[in-house]
Amino acid sequence: MDISTLLGILIGFGALIVGFILEGGHVSSLFLLPPAIIVFGGTFGAVFASFPLKEMKKLSTWLKIAFTDKSYGTLEAYETLIRFAEKARREGLLSLEQELEEVEDRFTRQGMQLVIDGTDPDITREILESNIAVMEKRHKVGISVFEAAGGYSPTLGIIGTVMGLVHVLGNLTDPDSLSKSIAGAFLATLYGVAFANLLYLPIATKLKQKDKIEVASMEMIMDGILSIQAGENPSILKEKLKTHLGNIMEPANSRNE
């Protein structure tokens, strides 16, 4: 579990509720079905209409990524590339073929296989960069879905409030229910703005950050593979890869999804 995502959302909504209670409000008054249907149903409908069905089927996957503390195998890739560089310098590139079976990361394995097969360095770079670009394009869809939800939600909240006020103005002859109806109308705006800024947009930002980390990891791997292909000294390669590590150095895991 990615604690920061869950904790941040809980703190955000908790602060709103606690502040409301301190002002003398009752929590039960924050929950009304009609404005919830308008805001959440309307937001979901707008988002659903904005993206292809095949993409919306990945919604659960994007949520899992946002709420799961995933590792991208950066440190493992670093150590693997250094080991490969040292062995290639001693025994040649073909000696690495047997070790590829032990490499779990698909991107590393594919790149090294191109090197072992004697692929032209420019073509190797082009293939690896294409893989990174395709991954980024796939990630951008999920980011766009939650950014769209963050844009639609406040607007649907305003629409819900206007609809509620229309109902209020149509029943001015019943002053006893007037204040309750007005409060219910403004709940729609609260739902729209709160969920946009405390749920949808934070998830979009978290997905962006995880995309940057994965891209940085893959770029490090690509530079290492191309350096091995060029026959660079392992000690030089080690220093070059260290410039990529920075804050993305972490325990190993694979990128195989």
Helix, strand or coil for residue 251?
A: coil
pLDDT at 239: 85
One domain for residues 9 and 66: no
pLDDT at 54: 92
Task: Determine, yes or no, domain membership for 54.
Answer: yes
Model-level pTM?
0.84
Task: Determine, yes or no, domain membership for 252.
Answer: no
One domain for residues 109 and 223: yes
The answer to whether the Cα torsion of 13, 14, 19, 25 is positive or negative is: positive
The full DSSP string for 95-111 is GGTGGGGG---HHHHHH
pLDDT at 248: 57
Task: Determine, yes or no, domain membership for 251.
Answer: no
Task: Determine, yes or no, domain membership for 197.
Answer: yes
Task: Determine, yes or no, domain membership for 232.
Answer: yes
Consecutive sets of 10 residues in the chain, 257 residues long: mean pLDDT of each? 90 94 88 92 96 93 89 83 91 86 88 92 95 94 96 95 83 66 85 96 95 91 92 88 68 41
Number of domains forming the structure of the chain? 2
One domain for residues 181 and 199: yes
Residues 208 and 142 sit within 8 Å (Cβ to Cβ): no
The C-alpha atoms of residue 49 and residue 181 are separated, in whole angstroms, by 31
Task: Determine, yes or no, domain membership for 254.
Answer: no
Which domain covers residue 20, as residue numbers?
Answer: 1-31
Task: Determine, yes or no, domain membership for 180.
Answer: yes
